[in-house]
């Protein structure tokens, strides 16, 4: 299935990726080739087949932790790796005009 350049650009917006014109061209071709390949799944009759929603048969059956307050990362530690911070807050560009 061939993707148009507009579709590539729309996906990039959804994915929050700025692409260069060269990347748009490259991905248009490469993603189209992969989508052509995965189209073979249409050969299979999957009516009545449940999707595999859990990789582990017992998933969902594992005991949850007790709902109790536990120590976690102190705020100073949690923001230490941020590229910009103010006190114990993550600092981001202004979003309100």
Partner 1 sequence: MSGAGELLDLSLTGLSAALAAGRVSAREATEAALARIEATDGRVGAFLAVTAERARERAAAADARAARGARLGPLDGVPLAVKDLFLTRGVATTAASRILAGFVPPYDAAVVERLEAAGAVLLGKLNLDEFAMGSSNENSAVKPCHNPWDLARTPGGSSGGSAAALAARQAFGTLGTDTGGSIREPAAFCGVVGLKPTYGRVSRYGVVAFASSLDQPGPLGRTVGDAAALLQVIAGRDARDLTSSTRPVDDYGAALEEGARGLTVGVPRAWLAEGVEAGVARRVKEALALYERLGAKLVDVELPHTKYGIAAYYLIAPAEASSNLARYDGVRFGLREGGAGGLKGMYGATRAAGFGAEPKRRIMLGTYALSAGYYDAYYLRAQKVRTLLRRDFERAFERCDVIAGPVTPAVAFRLGEKVADPLAMYLEDVFTVTCNLAALPGLSVPCGLHPEQQLPVGLQLIGRPFDEATLLRAARALEREQGPLPRPAGLEA
The residues that touch partner 1, with contacts defined as CB under 8 A, are 3, 7-8, 11-12, 14-20, 23, 26-27, 30-31, 33-35, 37-38, 40-42, 44, 46, 49-59, 62-65, 73, 77-84, 90, 92-95
Q: How far is the CB of 87 from partner 1 (least distance, A)?
A: 15
Q: How far is the CB of 94 from partner 1 (least distance, A)?
A: 7
SS3 readout for 41-92: HHHCCCCCCCCCCCCCCCCCCCCCCCCCCCCCCCHHHHHHCCCCEECCEECC
């Amino acid at each position: 299935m061939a993707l148009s350049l507009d579709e590539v650009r729309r996906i990039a917006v959804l994915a929050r990726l700025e692409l260069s014109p060269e990347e748009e061209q490259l991905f248009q071709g490469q993603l189209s080739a992969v989508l052509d390949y995965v189209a073979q799944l249409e050969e299979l009759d999957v009516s009545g087949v449940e999707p595999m929603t859990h990789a582990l048969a017992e998933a969902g059956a594992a005991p949850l932790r007790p709902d109790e307050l536990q120590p976690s990362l102190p705020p100073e530690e949690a923001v230490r790796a941020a590229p910009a911070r103010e006190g114990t807050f993550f600092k981001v560009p202004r979003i309100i005009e």
